[in-house]
Structure 1
């Protein structure tokens, strides 16, 4: 089912490819509000449906109900990319890309570390925490089929790039890196090039955020207790999700 409203632009690059910079850029170019995957913890309805759909408890995803309010969507949970592309078949598609080796290192340093050291230990006792960690676990499983080895992750990353290129007509697809800046984005979207500087890459900000979360856990008794209980309990089994 297609829709005349909803995202005009779909950013289908995986996380750690410059999706945060793309989100800010699209807002500046006038395509806001722009959805970003980091919104999921703060949107109960979306979180609930992502959790149910990703864990097999729900067969259909109410894509129009949840995404028609946005003019663009980036950093989409990997398992929802095909769903949104089917729902909005005339949307322009931006595939953010990155050197595969650099991307893999970034995923390991930020996302995997965040899961192992922060999300699972500290949030497993809350419904929000368990849902959010399960959603990310589902995303990792969808992308990598349960195999987080370097070779498999890079293979999956390259396969996704090839799949998007094969699926999307060339006139609706932009393959883009943050270092490409405004010009190709503005040309593709048929808008003027802004006079403002292009949004800086978000890599350092993500590492800083992770560091602050770890400091919080170490300094607060309740958080530290959660870490100790988690260590005693053992890790969540994401293969059972």
Structure 2
């Protein structure tokens, strides 16, 4: 049964459920894990999530699930990252992923793809989809002009007063999904990262039911792979590069925030000067 759109909002990240405040630590698996989508960000993962929801795979875990739907999940993902990459705490396995993802029939995008080997081991019967772009250059340009540009501005050591001011105002993310990836050195390593990642996923998924999929192909290959009837509606298209830029220039509105913060700093400075002069 397809997702009831009345209970979901169409956002720039795709179809998003209303925000909840669920502590999943004691949750259990309630639906089977059917599909692991292991393509990198900016390969159409938001569109794929919307498509899978349309096909009745309820739910599909995505970065949207943390940012838009249940922010408490960030605590568990931080535990998982700390255990895998820092050696802090117990590594996540089937039990831990069932608690975090037990309501999902599929996963896509970060943060879950950072645990591709663990998820493949935990769910041996799940099919695997690798989303790809036309080539490495197309993907590189997309990431360079969206995620890397924004992440670098918000997370890199500030080089300007504007950057420092914005970083001081905006809340810090609960965990850094890119800390253990080449994104920090993306201009030099990005293209190779894309190629290496895709080859690694193919190797890890060897022997599994596997689909390499470009969302430009539409419903046909996806529905055939999943053995479901093809919808009569158009294949969803969400969170492309233009939408990403518009989203971060309106909702986050970094440029407006920069302007406001700069004026605020100037106003406070003027006020301080006025107070100082009044005391003279």
Q: TM-score range by the shorter chain?
A: 0.7 to 0.9
Q: Which residue of 2 aligns with 1:73?
A: 107
The secondary structure found in structure 2 opposite 1:148 is helix
Unaligned runs of 5+ in 2: 1-28, 157-163, 266-280
Give the drift of 1:84: 1.7
Task: Determine whether 1:210 maps to 2:248.
Answer: yes
Partner in structure 2 of residue 165 of structure 1: 202
Question: 2:76 aligned to 35, 49, 59, which one?
Answer: 49
Per the TM alignment, residue 38 of structure 1 is displaced from its structure 2 partner at its CA by 2.5
**Larger RCO, structure (CA 8 Å, separation 6 or more):** 1
2:139 equivalent to 1:103: yes
CA distance in 2, matches of 1:46, 1:164: 25
For residue 219 of structure 1, report the CA deviation from its aligned partner.
Answer: 5.1
**1:23–1:74 Cα contact (<8 Å) kept:** yes
Residue 180 (str. 1) matches residue 217 (str. 2) = yes
- Does the CA-based 8 Å contact 2:144-2:186 persist in structure 1? no
- CA distance in structure 2 between the partners assigned to 1:38 and 1:16 by the alignment: 13
Q: RMSD between aligned alpha carbons?
A: 2.7
Pick aligned residue for 2:173 from 131, 138, 141: 131
Within 2, Cα distance between the matches of 1:224 and 1:172? 56
Q: Is the 8 A contact 1:9 1:73 kept in 2?
A: yes
Residues 94 and 176 of structure 1 are in contact (CA less than 8 Å); yes or no, is this contact kept in structure 2? yes
Maintained 8 Å contact 2:128/2:208 = no
**Residue 121 of structure 2: aligned partner:** 86
Q: How many residues align?
A: 216
SS of the residue 1:21 aligns to:
helix
* Structure 1 unmatched runs, 5+: 226-241
Q: Given the alignment of the two structures, is residue 192 of structure 1 paired with residue 229 of structure 2, yes or no?
A: yes
Shift, 1:7, TM fit: 2.4
Cα distance in 1 for residues equivalent to 2:142 and 2:264? 26
Q: Normalised by the size of structure 2, how large is the TM-score?
A: 0.68
Conservation of the 8 A alpha-carbon contact between 2:37 and 2:130: yes
Give distance in 2, aligned partners of 1:109 and 1:10: 27
| Cα shift readout 1:124-166 (whole Å, capped 9, x = no counterpart) | 667xx4234x42332xx3x32864343x221121111111212
The residue number in structure 1 matching 2:153 is 117
Q: Tell me: CA distance 1:148–1:188, structure 2 relative to 1, closer, same or farther (3 Å).
A: same
Q: Give CA deviations for 1:23-55 in whole Å, capped at 9, x if unaligned.
A: 010011111211111222353442112223324
What residue number does 1:144 align with? 182
Q: TM-score, normalised by structure 1?
A: 0.78
**Residues 48 and 131 in structure 1, CA contact (< 8 A), matched pair in contact too:** no
**1:186/1:192 contact within 8 Å kept:** yes
3-state SS in 2 of match to 1:164? helix
CA distance in 2, matches of 1:33, 1:166: 27
CA distance in 1, matches of 2:98, 2:263: 38
SS at match of 1:175: strand
Tell me which of 85, 89, 93 is aligned to 1:58: 89
